């Protein structure tokens, strides 16, 4: 479901692009799965997307799948079309933007365990100090529409206070659900008079895709087809919050 934030950012940046989105709702969350299982599931999803017709590109709109499956997907795809993850663009943006090199990462347990952000940030900035914090509770909060209020503040305090103790100046939202909570996170920092730069991995990924991808349409708004593997009715309600529009949603068996 979190990958819808990437769709929203892509639609805002390049509305002409035709998007086929597959949300593997029957097997979520990926953030608690093993690397082997994440790779297997991701390749199954790719096979279904390809069965619908040729692709011009693929965005792996999940940080856990980006950490564990992108290399396997690129090997499988070869030169047929480009493959973008959401991890590398966010890491690169944080490495370039941080003044002190002290960078915090909030992500799911699976993404944190992979070490993907720490490695990617240090590839771009070898002297960086990366402080990672698993924040699994932010996913259900975002999906249930809890983006403000005392419950959200209590959870954010638990996750963000240790990062402030490490004197970070930049925070990566390393899960595509987390942008829905970005206003609450920004307010939490402001209330403590902390000026922390927040890097939205979904927006960073959309920026990278739009920088790399040449849109070849005549300017009309591209079709958005959203497919899910379970729970289409509930997904429609959540999708409207994530996207700010009511999309066409289809349940599929992969």
Nearest CA to 74 out of 63, 85, 64 is that of 85
pLDDT over 90, % of the chain: 71
Token digits for 185? 């996170």
Q: What domains appear along the chain, each with residue ranges and CATH number?
A: 4-86+204-251 (3.40.50.1860), 88-201 (3.40.50.1860)
| Whether residue 238 has pLDDT greater than 60 | yes
For every residue of 116-128, which 3-state class applies, written as one string?
Answer: HHHHHHHHHCCCC
Please give the pLDDT value at position 233.
81
Give the C-alpha separation, 60 to 62, whole Å. Answer: 6
| Whether residue 146 has pLDDT greater than 60 | yes
Nearest CA to 249 out of 226, 221, 231 is that of 226
Please give the pLDDT value at position 217.
54
The residues carrying an active-site annotation are 62, 175
Contacts (Cβ under 8 Å, ≥6 apart) of 178: 2, 106, 135, 138, 142, 185, 200, 201
Query: Please, which pLDDT band fits residue 219 given cuts at 50, 70 and 90?
Result: low
Give the C-alpha separation, 145 to 142, whole Å. Answer: 5
Question: Regarding predicted confidence, which is higher, 180 or 187?
Answer: 187
| Whether residue 97 has pLDDT greater than 70 | yes
Average pLDDT, stretch 190-199? 96
Token digits for 143? 């999906």
Whole-prediction pTM: 0.87
Average pLDDT, stretch 206-229? 83
Give the C-alpha separation, 163 to 174, whole Å. Answer: 14
Please give the pLDDT value at position 215.
60
């Amino acid at each position: 479901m979190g990958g819808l934030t990437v769709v929203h950012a892509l639609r805002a940046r390049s509305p002409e692009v035709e998007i086929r989105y597959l949300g593997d709702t029957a097997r979520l969350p990926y953030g608690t799965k093993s690397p082997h299982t994440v790779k297997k599931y991701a390749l199954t999803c790719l096979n279904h997307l390809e069965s619908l017709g040729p692709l011009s590109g693929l965005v792996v709109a999940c940080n856990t799948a980006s950490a564990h499956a992108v290399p396997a997907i690129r090997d499988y795809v070869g030169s047929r079309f480009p493959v973008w993850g959401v991890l590398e663009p966010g890491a690169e943006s944080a490495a370039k933007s941080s003044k002190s090199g002290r960078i915090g990462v909030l992500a799911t347990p699976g993404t944190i365990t992979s070490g993907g952000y720490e490695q990617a940030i240090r590839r771009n900035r070898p002297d960086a100090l990366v402080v990672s914090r698993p924040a699994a509770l932010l996913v259900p909060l975002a999906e249930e529409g809890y983006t403000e209020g005392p419950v959200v503040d209590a959870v954010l305090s638990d996750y963000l206070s240790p990062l402030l103790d490490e004197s970070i100046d930049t925070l990566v939202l390393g899960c595509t659900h987390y942008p829905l909570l970005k206003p609450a996170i920004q307010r939490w920092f402001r209330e403590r008079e902390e000026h922390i730069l927040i890097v939205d991995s979904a927006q960073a990924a959309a920026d990278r895709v739009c920088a790399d991808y040449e849109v070849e349409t005549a300017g009309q708004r591209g079709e958005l087809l959203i497919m899910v593997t379970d729970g289409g009715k509930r997904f429609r309600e959540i999708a409207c919050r994530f996207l700010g529009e009511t999309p066409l949603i289809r349940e599929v068996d992969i």
